Amino acid sequence: MKKIPFSTPNIGFRELNAVKRVFKSGWYIAGEETKAFEEEFASYVGVKYAVSLSSCTAALFLSLKALGIKEGDEIIVPSFTFPATASVVIHCGAVPVFADINNIDFTLDQKSVNSLITKKTRAIIPVHYGGNRAKISARIPIIEDSAHLIPRGGDNKSFARCYSFYTTKNITTIEGGMLTTMNKKIYEWVKKARLHGLSTDAYKRY
């Protein structure tokens, strides 16, 4: 049986110097470094807005809340994914509907998705798995779980795309995530939502 090893983070002198710079600044979270990271990340993936969050799970949850997902709504998710993809749906009071994946790249199967869409379906969460991009089209909002993929530029037409910076991901902040969108209203709402409704964070108040 072949084993697929987890990769350890590639941390070198540049990363260590960057961490040292943050500590020397006296401000360790959500300051100028975070703002610069959001802007650089948005530019890299070819999107207008990026909001840093505590995890990809938080990004998925806030995407659903920004969409107005409520009790009784149905959200289509893959049957093969990390639990958070479905648990955020449950935390919104909605119902996760599990679709099949294809046997080529293990991402959502379009035919399976089409067969599960009902009047209650409010969104689809395709998961880009192992660097493979799920190719799903629909007339309802799509929230991309992109924990396994950071594409450079390209299509950004979905409602939102959610990234993970966990220690085993493409790039790491040890823990962390990002939500990207082309919609300014969503961007402004998520910025407040991550601060429990506050319009000004601690760094600006300081």
Catalytic center residues:
169
**From the CB of residue 185, how many other CB atoms can be counted at a distance below 10 Å?**
9
Helix locations, the chain, DSSP H:
13-25, 32-45, 56-67, 84-91, 110-116, 184-193, 202-205
| Terminal Cα distance for the chain, rounded | 56
φ and ψ at residue 128, rounded to 5 degrees:
-85, 110
- Output DSSP code: residue 46: T
The answer to whether 181 and 161 have CB atoms below 8 angstroms apart is yes
